[in-house]
DNA sequence: CACTCATTTCACAAACTTGTGAAGACAATA
DNA sequence: TATTGTCTTCACAAGTTTGTGAAATGAGTG
């Protein structure tokens, strides 16, 4: 019994690291990725900073930085139960939505960068045209991504 | 005349750095980003390793690593004109396609990671269900991305 | 208003990345 | 096969990121 529980616990921690590694490869800060992964595999979807520090074997200071970042980008929320001294952190249901809104903003930024380049190169040069194509590409995706996300939401309403 | 040419040259180099910085923020290796940006703003779309090293003021060794990476991920191709000792590197026209195929592969990988987690947590636990939703999200996008890209291609055929 | 527990901030240390120089490998000519 | 120009590899140094410990801050309770 104890053996099984321990084995499960190990498997769980290992999966947290796997998931976090994947997120880190996507460009997330490592600690933020580990915290997010830890919250994802919790049934309640909530943990205190202390619990997170214990689960991940890191100092409270490291947790502090990670949760601030995750909160800023809208992937988790900070909550304090009245009459508790400790903050809880919770994974948000619409976390993917937040992450895609962010991408949308980035795509727009790329369009602007391309425009800068076109101004320097001249829009009728081959290089200028190449950048114009890049700009169009990003604009296209900036427009389509939110629509795509809408469809995902709609589908989830129907299925789940 | 010389003044203007110099000024343009400066503006160009500065834009190369701007573009590279953006790519680096997206998670590209810094040197790879600079090389790619340099090729993007060239009318011919082609440069030799030596030219790249000179333009970016870095050692040939740095170029070597960067072009190998860019070649691997399919964003540039290496070419050698017969009777030349130098390799040329060229930005590919379908580079965005390559980059999106790569993303597609990544999305599938995410689905598999989620499945691992579901196996550990059990699919009927709240955490298991949360991961299942993550998997569905990635699967949905893995399926839709190529279709979206098709539409981009079609649009480009019509417009350009 | 003092006490206690939890979180945050800051300076520093450890670990990792990234580019360099120098030596080696490769390919085209003669 | 020797020569020359180009590219690659490798060990190392510089720079950056990342997490820690200790002190400071903030919030709830008597």
pLDDT digits (tens, 9 = 90+) for A101-129: 777 788 888 889 999 999 999 999 999 99
Which residues from the 89-128 window of protein chain A have CB within 7 angstroms of nucleic acid chain C?
Answer: none
- Taking an 8 Å cut-off on Cβ atoms, the answer to whether A22 and B125 are in contact is no
All residues of chain B having their beta carbon less than 8 Å from the beta carbon of residue A41 are 117, 120-121, 127, 131
Q: What is the pLDDT of residue A61?
A: 95
- Taking an 8 Å cut-off on Cβ atoms, the answer to whether A144 and B131 are in contact is no
The closest alpha carbon to B19, from A134, A104, A139, A26, belongs to A134
Q: How far apart are CA B114 and CA B130, in angstroms?
A: 9
B61: CB within 7 A of chain C nucleic strand: yes
Q: What is the pLDDT of residue B6?
A: 56
The closest alpha carbon to B42, from B7, B12, B85, B79, belongs to B12
Domain spans of chain A?
2-91, 95-159
The whole-chain average pLDDT of chain B stands at 88
pLDDT band of residue A18 (cuts 50, 70, 90) is very high
All residues of chain A having their beta carbon less than 8 Å from the beta carbon of residue B117 are 15, 18-19, 40-41
Above 80 in pLDDT, residue A7?
no
Higher pLDDT, B82 or A150: A150
The residues, any chain, with a CB within 8 Å of residue B17's CB and separated by 6 or more, are B34, B37
Q: What is the pLDDT of residue B112?
A: 92
Percent of chain A with pLDDT over 90: 56
Report the run of H or E that residue A136 belongs to, with start and end: helix A126-159
CATH architecture of A2-91: Orthogonal Bundle (1.10)
pLDDT digits (tens, 9 = 90+) for B108-118: 889 999 999 99
Q: What is the pLDDT of residue B4?
A: 55
Minimal CA separation from A16 to chain B, in Å: 8
pLDDT, average across residues A3-16: 78
């Amino acid at each position: 019994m104890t053996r099984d529980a321990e084995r499960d616990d190990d498997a769980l921690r290992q999966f947290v690291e796997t998931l976090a590694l994947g997120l880190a490869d996507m460009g997330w800060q490592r600690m933020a990725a580990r915290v997010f992964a830890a919250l994802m595999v919790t049934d309640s979807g909530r943990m205190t900073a202390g619990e997170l520090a214990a689960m991940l074997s890191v100092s409270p200071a490291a947790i502090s930085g990670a949760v601030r970042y995750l909160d800023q980008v809208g992937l988790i929320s900070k909550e304090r139960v009245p009459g508790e001294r400790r903050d809880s952190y919770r994974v948000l249901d619409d976390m993917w939505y937040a992450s895609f809104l962010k991408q949308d903003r980035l795509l727009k930024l790329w369009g602007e960068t391309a425009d800068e380049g076109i101004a320097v190169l001249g829009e009728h040069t081959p290089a200028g045209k190449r950048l114009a194509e890049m700009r169009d590409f990003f604009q296209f995706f900036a427009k389509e991504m939110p629509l795509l996300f809408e469809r995902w939401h709609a589908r989830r309403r129907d299925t789940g």
